[in-house]
Amino acid sequence: MVIAGILLTIGVPSYQQFIQKNHTVTQTNNLVAVLNLARSEAIKRGVRVTVRRKGTTDEVWDNGWDLFTDLDADGTFDDDADTNLCEVGEDCLLRTYGSLPTNFTLRTGATYAKWVSYLPSGLSKGSGGLSNDTFRLCAGDANTAKSRAVAVNLSGRPRTSTGTALCP
């Protein structure tokens, strides 16, 4: 019994850290998949495609995001709210994504405060006017060494790394 108690005392925290790391990697991979999808859709369709955060607070992406064609390049989903979707002259909602799991945060810098778009050439452009920025994904413990960063450069390609300068 004593040996089992010792093993549990050692093993449970390690298992919890393993689960948290796995969740962080999964959320990072989901974000990279969305960015890659937006880029490929922009190239395929020959129109601007935007990923816009849900919610009203700049640089906070915790509440999820929408992926849509952005015909007028304003970063806002424009639809006439009738039952006919993707009509000529209006944006087309390609996908919508829900909030991050509890205790996870996703932040950006000022360049992607509201949205990031991909041009038909595959290049990126942010709501802040520039092309590159970094998403910071942090778990509830706000450990910057275990957080993940997704940097998007001018060419629009996302690159992941472990560790960020700060967590919210």
- What count of Cα atoms within 13 Å lies in the side-chain half-sphere of residue 64? 8
Q: Which domain holds residue 65?
A: 2-162
- What integer best gives the mean pLDDT of the chain? 89
- Rounded to the nearest 10 degrees, how much is the dihedral formed by the CA atoms of 113, 135, 163, 139? 90
CATH number at residue 119: 3.55.40.10
Give a yes or no: residue 167 inside a domain.
no
Predicted confidence (pLDDT) per residue in 50-104, tens digit: 999 999 999 999 999 999 999 999 999 998 888 787 888 899 999 999 999 988 9
Residue 27 has pLDDT above 80, yes or no: yes
168 belongs to a structural domain? no
Structure tokens at 79: 């639809």
Q: Taking a C-beta distance cutoff of 8 angstroms, is the pair 117, 142 a contact?
A: no
**What is the pTM (predicted TM-score) of this model?**
0.86
* Residues 20, 80: Cα–Cα separation, whole Å: 42
For the chain, state the CA radius of gyration.
19
Residue 80 corresponds to which tokens in the numbers above?
A: 């006439």
Number of domains in the chain: 1
Q: Tell me, yes or no, whether 17 lies in a domain.
A: yes
- Distances in whole angstroms, Cα of residue 94 to Cα of each of 16, 19, 41, 54, 143: 35, 31, 9, 15, 34
Residue 116's pLDDT is what? 97
Percent of the chain with pLDDT over 70: 90
